[in-house]
């Protein structure tokens, strides 16, 4: 078997995922099929690429060599094909053949991927997620991602250190997440001051549970007590039990038994941004991809008629102009 670029992508995916099972989920194929493919790749290069450890799946010295070369070859090959297509047809509006998209999570990625798949037959769409924006920025700057769809608290902006371009997609209200039997759950919106005596919880990662939240509470006349940080499942369990109030985006879809309500006056908001490298081959295609992302956001908003009505009454929120 001759080694191909798709084989190198598999090796990189296994390394980044940390296990064959997680890599199979990322690639959307069955684990036995991925294991068999990995064995064929190892046969082609003449040795084992990964070993299982207590930490997961680690590359062998041979695996590290292949990874180092693959991480140079894959971005170069992708850029070559995209630039060749543009030069051959001078069609800067032609869709990309491949989309590598990173995200910190949120309501947009699923709809964006769906729209890209509708746009033309069989495009390659790869996704990668992280809790932290800086990790995605490093990958964008290194050419390992084409775009990143991220969220930032308030009016903050990603660090300029990586020389990336960032454009707004939409602005969400930050809502209070409550059990549906909570006394305040029947409101269309809740004044932040009415929650002054509550314990709070937020999920791990970049979020509003820092300066923005403290400032909003201070403006409402109180200091928030017992601010907890937990993984998403634990945070939802604490809210469901009535032990804490959560913070979430307005487009978050609560599980059964929980509801979210906007905070009156929108004292906190969450901005969805799309970023790319201005000198990368994907830069020329960023405006239509950003438009797809905005449409995906609106799709999510309209699944919740109550939030859609509330958002329509707050025109400074919702989808933003790209300039």
Q: What integer pLDDT is reported at residue 149 of this predicted model? A: 95
Helix/strand/coil percent split, the chain, to 5: 40, 25, 35
Q: Are strands 258-262 and 165-179 parallel, antiparallel or unpaired?
A: antiparallel
Domain ranges of the chain: 1-94, 95-323
d(CA 79, CA 281): 6
Q: 259 pLDDT band (50/70/90 cuts)?
A: very high
- DSSP class of residue 171 equals E
Q: What is the pLDDT of residues 116-133, one digit of tens each?
A: 888 765 668 889 888 788
DSSP-assigned beta bridge partners for residue 225: 199
Torsion sign across C-alpha atoms 155, 168, 188, 243: negative
Residue 312 CB partners (closer than 8 Å, separation 6+): 318
CA–CA dist 140, 48 (Å, integer): 30
What residues contact 129, with CB distance under 8 A and at least 6 apart?
A: 102, 103, 104, 105
State the pTM of this model.
0.68
Q: Measured between alpha carbons, how far is 242 from 78 in angstroms, rounded to an integer?
A: 50
Asked whether residue 90 carries a pLDDT value surpassing 50, the answer given is: no
User: Nearest Cα to 265, choosing from 306, 319, 219?
Assistant: 219
CATH code of the region 1-94: 1.10.10.10
Can you spell out the DSSP letters for 27-85? Answer: HTS-HHHHHHHHHHHHHHHTS--EEEETTEEEE-HHHHHHHHHHHHHHHHHHHHHHHHH
How do residues 169-211 score in pLDDT, each as one tens digit? 999 999 999 999 999 999 999 999 999 999 998 876 655 556 7
- CATH code of domain 95-323: 3.40.190.290
Q: Show the DSSP H helices in the chain as ranges.
A: 5-17, 20-27, 31-45, 61-89, 109-119, 133-141, 211-219, 232-240, 286-301, 305-312
Contact 38/27 with Cβ under 8 angstroms? no
């Amino acid at each position: 078997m001759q080694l191909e670029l798709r084989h190198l992508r598999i090796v990189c995916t296994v390394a980044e995922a940390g296990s064959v099972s997680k890599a199979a989920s990322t690639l959307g194929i069955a684990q036995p099929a991925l294991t068999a493919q990995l064995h064929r790749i190892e046969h082609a290069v003449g040795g084992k690429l990964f070993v299982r450890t207590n930490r997961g799946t680690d590359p062998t010295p041979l695996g590290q060599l292949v990874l180092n070369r693959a991480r140079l070859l894959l971005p170069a090959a992708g850029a070559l094909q995209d630039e060749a297509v543009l030069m051959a047809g001078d069609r800067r509006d032609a869709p990309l053949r491949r989309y590598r998209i990173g995200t910190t999570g949120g309501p947009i990625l699923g709809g964006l991927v769906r729209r890209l798949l509708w746009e033309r037959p069989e495009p390659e769409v790869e996704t990668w997620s992280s809790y932290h924006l800086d990790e995605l920025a490093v990958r964008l700057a290194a050419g390992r991602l084409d775009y990143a769809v991220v969220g930032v608290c308030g009016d903050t902006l990603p660090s300029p250190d990586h020389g990336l371009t960032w454009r707004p997609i939409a602005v969400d209200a930050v809502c209070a997440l409550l059990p549906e039997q909570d006394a305040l759950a029947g409101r269309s919106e809740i004044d932040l001051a009415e929650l002054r005596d509550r314990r709070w919880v937020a999920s791990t990662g970049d979020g509003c549970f820092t300066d923005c939240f403290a400032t909003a509470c201070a403006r409402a006349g109180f200091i928030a007590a017992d601010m907890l940080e937990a993984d998403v499942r634990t945070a939802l369990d604490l809210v469901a039990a009535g032990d804490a109030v959560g913070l979430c985006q307005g487009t978050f879809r609560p599980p059964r038994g929980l509801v979210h309500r906007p905070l009156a006056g929108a004292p906190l908001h969450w901005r969805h941004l799309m970023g790319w490298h201005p000198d990368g081959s994907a830069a020329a295609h960023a405006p239509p991809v950003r438009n797809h992302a905005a449409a995906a956001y609106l799709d999510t908003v309209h699944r919740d008629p109550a939030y859609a009505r509330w958002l329509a009454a707050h025109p400074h929120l919702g989808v933003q102009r790209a300039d």
